[in-house]
Amino acid sequence: MPLRVTFLGTAGAIPTTERNPSAIHVAREGEELLFDAGEGTQRQMMRFGTGFSLSHLFVTHLHGDHVLGIPGLLQTMDFNDRTDPLTIVTPRGTRSRLKRLVTALENRPSFPVEYIEVGDGDVPLRAEEYEVRAFETDHETTSVGYALVEDDRKGRFDRERAEELGVPVGPKFSQLHEGESVELEDGTVIEPEQVVGEPRPGRSIVYTGDTRPTVATIEVADEPDLLIHDATFADDRADRAATTAHSTARAAGEIAARADAKRLALVHLSSRYAGYTDDHLGEAREAFDGEVWMPADGKSIEIPYPDS
C-alpha cells in the first residue's frame, strides 16, 4: 500500500523563484489529500503530476501563504467539471472567513464544498485504514497541525505453522488471519494466535504548519515515520523565530528527537536565506540522528512500513 508525500511548496511567507508557498500532497492508494494550498499550488500540482482528485484539503491557519492558492485551485476543479464533493478542514473559528475567500469571486465552485472546523484532538477524517488528527500548534493566529496515522495491520500469517497444525490450505487460512478460530475435521480447534503474529504498526506523518516548537507535536503520533516541521530560520535568527512564532531547524530537530521520529523534513524556509540550506541541515542534524532533509519543491518520497 504506497504512501507518497510530495512537497509542492516549501517556502516561508514570501515565495522565491525556486520555492512556492506551503502545500503538501499525500497520496495513499488512490486517495489524495492536500495540506495547505499557498498561491500557485495548482501549477505545482500540474508540474509535479500529483493529480487533482483530492477528497480533503487541510488548512493549518489563515495566513495568505497557506491559503491563497485555494480559490484558483477550486476554480480549475470547477472548469474541469468536478462533481465530487470536497471537504475543507480548517481551525476552529476560521470557517466563515475561509468560505468568504472561496466565494468572493464570480466563479463559485458548483461542486459541493463542505467545511469542517477542528481543534486539538479532533479527528476530521476517519478512513477505513487510517485517520487524520488535528493537534494544537503555537503560531501568531489560530492554528493547528495534522497527523495522518494508519491503523495497525494484521500480524503475519505463519503458513508453515498452520500446515504443521493440520489446517488445510484454503478458506480456513484467511479465517484464521481475520482473527477467527477454526475447527479441523478431527475436532481440534486452532486459535488465530497460534498462527498469526503480533499486529504490525502502520505508518504516520505529522505536519506542523507554522509553529513554535510544541509538546503536542511530540504527542500526536507514536514514533512518526515522517515529521514535516516548520524550520523557517537557522540559529542566526533564533530570536526572529521566537518573536514571529516559527521554529528554527535546530528546534525542529529537537522535536523530532523527542518524538522518536524516523525522518525529518524541514520546510517553510525564509526567503532571507536565498535558498542556502546548509546551516539549517547542519543544525537540525546536531539535534536529531534520523534522516533529515530540506526538500526542494517537487521532492516526492515514498514512506515505507516501519517493519519493512
Q: Which spans of this chain sit near Zn ion (rule: CB under 5 A)?
A: 63, 65, 210
- The three three-digit cell numbers of residue 263, written as one number: 525522518
- Among the listed residues 36, 65, 138, 210, the single catalytic one is 65
- The three three-digit cell numbers of residue 93, written as one number: 473559528
Tell me how far apart the alpha carbons of residues 221 and 182 are, in angstroms, rounded to a whole number: 36
Angle (deg, nearest 10), helices 70-79 and 95-103: 50
Taking the complex as a whole, the smallest distance from the CB of residue 232 to Zn ion amounts, in Å, to: 8
Q: How many CB atoms lie within 10 A of CB 194?
A: 15
CA dihedral 252, 256, 261, 265 (to 10 degrees): 10
Q: Among residues 198, 247, 201, 197, which one has the least CA distance to residue 227?
A: 247
- The three three-digit cell numbers of residue 272, written as one number: 532571507
SS3 percent helix, strand, coil of the chain, rounded to 5, is 25, 25, 45
Chain centroid offset of residue 188 CA: 46
- The three three-digit cell numbers of residue 100, written as one number: 468568504
Q: Among residues 124, 121, 142, which one has the least CA distance to residue 132?
A: 124
Angle at 25 between CA 292 and CA 93, to 5 degrees: 105
Q: Is 65 a catalytic residue?
A: yes
Tell me how far apart the alpha carbons of residues 237 and 235 are, in angstroms, rounded to a whole number: 5
Taking the complex as a whole, the smallest distance from the CB of residue 90 to Zn ion amounts, in Å, to: 14
Q: Please spell the DSSP secondary structure of 16-73, one letter per residue.
A: -SS-PSSEEEEEETTEEEEE---TTHHHHHHHTT--S-EEEEE-----HHHHTTHHHH
How far apart, in Å, are the Cα atoms of 295 and each of 9, 79, 159, 251? Answer: 9, 31, 42, 17
The residues annotated as belonging to the active site are: 65
